[in-house]
Amino acid sequence: MSAQVVTKDELDTLPPAMSWQALVVMLLAVAFGAFAAAVILPNWLPGLSASLLGSEPKAYWYLSRASAMIAFLLLWFSMASGLIITNKLARVWPGGPTAFDLHQYTSLLGLAIGLFHALILMGDHYINFSLAQVLIPFTSTTYRPIWVGIGQVGLYTSAIVSFSFYVRKRLGRRAWRLIHYLSFITFMLTLIHGITSGTDSPEAWARGLYWATGLSLIFLTVYRIIVSMFEPKKQPRPAR
């Protein structure tokens, strides 16, 4: 079957790629897993924790760094697939309906991995975040509070965009599209957070990743704007 594009009217009829029940279960599982690894394991099994992680555990920091990059790439892929849903690029790959599913799945999965990235830091002894400092933006005092807070705000805007999939019909097309513009703000906040807070940011591969993802989204956005300017306008139905 050849790839196809979808119209904006057809987009409104497509169901969410993941049920809200499955989303809740996924987020709860991620939150509990991160909380258990960061808090419950060291308190209940201190001997096992020490033998695995040493006197100054760094595994939590490594897990947070890895999950941060995965969440960032998922956010980028979600935006890229969203930008090609209704234009001719979808005919190349993967097709409009598939792009829409990928757009949703990667958005929701990116939110879950971003939540893990934040919660797992509670196990890091150097940063020593409390649950309140993880959840409330700009309340951290031990590590770059402004830049960490920007990332926390980005996580919340990502949640707003992701949850909007489930109320799209109630919101209406115009309101839903306005909320979706938060994706660009989310990406900018996440990019700033990564550059200013990530310990891998000075590395050449990290800088290359930031440039490649940022420029590709700029290209897709400009392309979509140009294409929309030359799209034929729908003719109103003649009155009977």
State the pLDDT at residue 93.
53
**Are the CB atoms for 72 and 111 separated by under 8 Å?**
no
Sequence spans of domains, the chain: 8-226
pTM above 0.95, yes or no: no
Q: Each residue of 31-70: pLDDT tens digit?
A: 877 776 666 555 555 544 554 455 555 778 888 888 999 9
Q: Each residue of 8-22: pLDDT tens digit?
A: 555 555 666 677 777
CA distance 196 to 198: 6
172 vs 97, which has greater pLDDT? 172
140 vs 42, which has greater pLDDT? 140
List Cβ<8 Å contacts ≥24 apart for 181-185: 182/157, 183/78, 183/79, 183/82, 184/79, 184/221, 185/154, 185/157
State the pLDDT at residue 38.
66
- What are φ and ψ of residue 236, in 5° steps? -65, 150
State the pLDDT at residue 51.
44
What is each CA distance from 106 to 17, 109, 129, in whole angstroms? Answer: 10, 5, 27
Residue 29 CB partners (closer than 8 Å, separation 6+): none
Q: Each residue of 94-110: pLDDT tens digit?
A: 555 677 788 888 999 99
